[in-house]
Amino acid sequence: GDSVTQMEGPVTLSEEAFLTINCTYTATGYPSLFWYVQYPGEGLQLLLKATKADDKGSNKGFEATYRKETTSFHLEKGSVQVSDSAVYFCALRVNTNAGKSTFGDGTTLTVKP
Amino acid sequence: GAVVSQHPSRVICKSGTSVKIECRSLDFQATTMFWYRQFPKQSLMLMATSNEGSKATYEQGVEKDKFLINHASLTLSTLTVTSAHPEDSSFYICSARDRGLPEAFFGQGTRLTVV
């Protein structure tokens, strides 16, 4: 079956530090890949996406590149801010699987001033 | 992006009563919606897939008689937690897909507390 494995947290960084959250996946088909962010007490917001190999998703300074050869979709940001503190979920969706999304366990990021 | 509205955001109910949670797609039609449950500091657990005009598809281990799902229109799905017990207390989140887009859009979530 489909699965997503992401870096265990929690991750604590100082403001302006470089962020990497690793994500690897296994899928029965050809998936689309996503990063979602969840702030305390809220639902999930789409952060970025990539739908085919070598695509780079980017938004709000975050980037992730769809690497088919390594089945990875690592999230990066060059300079984090306190406001980036949240839980980040890597996810995939395969068209043939009734549209269901498969999520990683989430990584909690805390950015300190 | 597309907007999914979930209501209520918080609800407290007494043990044995039923609670209904609504999930609406505000600016698109969603033939499929998904209901998730999230425990503290954990990932989302898919409960069921809600299909407009037909019965929901439940994941293994989810009691369909306890978690009633109705998807009567292309913009509304409801989850009713029947005869709620304290162990049903959780954060419930819905999502919907806009046809033609790969991503799902999520509601704000509902914090259910059963006392």
- Which residues in A19-35 are b (16+ Cβ under 10 Å) and which e? bebbbbbebeeebbbbb
Residues A79-89: tens digit of each pLDDT? 999 999 999 99
Please indicate whether, in this complex, the C-beta atoms of A100 and B93 are within 8 angstroms of each other: no
Cβ-Cβ contacts under 8 Å between A and B: the total is: 57
State mean pLDDT over B58-73.
Answer: 93
Please indicate whether, in this complex, the C-beta atoms of A34 and B46 are within 8 angstroms of each other: no
**Chain B interface includes A46 (CB < 8 A):** yes
Residues B8-30: tens digit of each pLDDT? 999 999 999 999 999 999 988 88
pLDDT, position A3: 92
Could you say which DSSP state residue A42 is in? S
Apex CA A37: angle with CA A33 and CA A42, to 5°?
A: 135
- Which of B1, B34, B106 has the CB atom closest to A100's CB atom? B34
